[in-house]
Amino acid sequence: MPENSKLQPAKLGKNFDPVDHSNRNFFFSLILSVLLHWLIYFLFEHREDFFPSKPKLVKLNPENLLVLKRGHSQDPSKNTQGAPKPTLAGPQKPPTPPTPPTPPTPPKPIEKPKPEPKPKPKPKPEPKKPDHKHKALKKVEKVEEKKIVEEKKEEKKIVEQKVEQKVEHKKVEEKKPVKKEFDPNQLSFLPKEVAPPRQENNKGLDNQTRRDIDELYGEEFGDLGTAEKDFIRNNLRDIGRITQKYLEYPQVAAYLGQDGTNAVEFYLHPNGDITDLKIIIGSEYKMLDDNTLKTIQIAYKDYPRPKTKTLIRIRVRYYLGGN
Do 164 and 229 fall within a single domain? no
| 146-161: average pLDDT | 67
Instruction: Give the domain range for residue 234.
Output: 225-318
| 158-187: average pLDDT | 52
Residue 229 within a domain? yes
Instruction: Indicate the average pLDDT of the chain.
Output: 73
The CATH number linked to 290 is 3.30.1150
Residue 279 within a domain? yes
Q: List, for residues 88-129, the tens digit of each pLDDT value.
A: 555 566 667 677 767 667 666 666 666 666 666 666 666 555
Bridge partners (DSSP) listed for residue 279? 264
Q: Helices 286-299 & 226-246, crossing angle to 10 degrees?
A: 110
Residue 231 within a domain? yes
Do 160 and 233 fall within a single domain? no
User: 3-class SS at 188?
Assistant: coil
Burial group, residue 233, by CB count within 10 angstroms (0-12, 13-18, 19+): middle
CA atoms of 246 and 285, how far apart (whole Å): 19
Residue 51 within a domain? no
Residue 124 within a domain? no
Residue 268 within a domain? yes
Do 247 and 282 meet the contact criterion of CB atoms below 8 Å apart?
no
Residue 233 within a domain? yes
Residue 91 within a domain? no
CA atoms of 312 and 300, how far apart (whole Å): 11
DSSP 187: -
Bridge partners (DSSP) listed for residue 267? 275, 311
Max mean pLDDT among 7-11, 63-67, 199-203, 232-236 falls in 232-236
Work out how many domains the chain is built from and give that number: 2
| 121-145: average pLDDT | 54
Number of Cα atoms under 13 Å in the Cβ half of residue 140: 5
Boundary residue ending a domain (168, 186, 210): 168
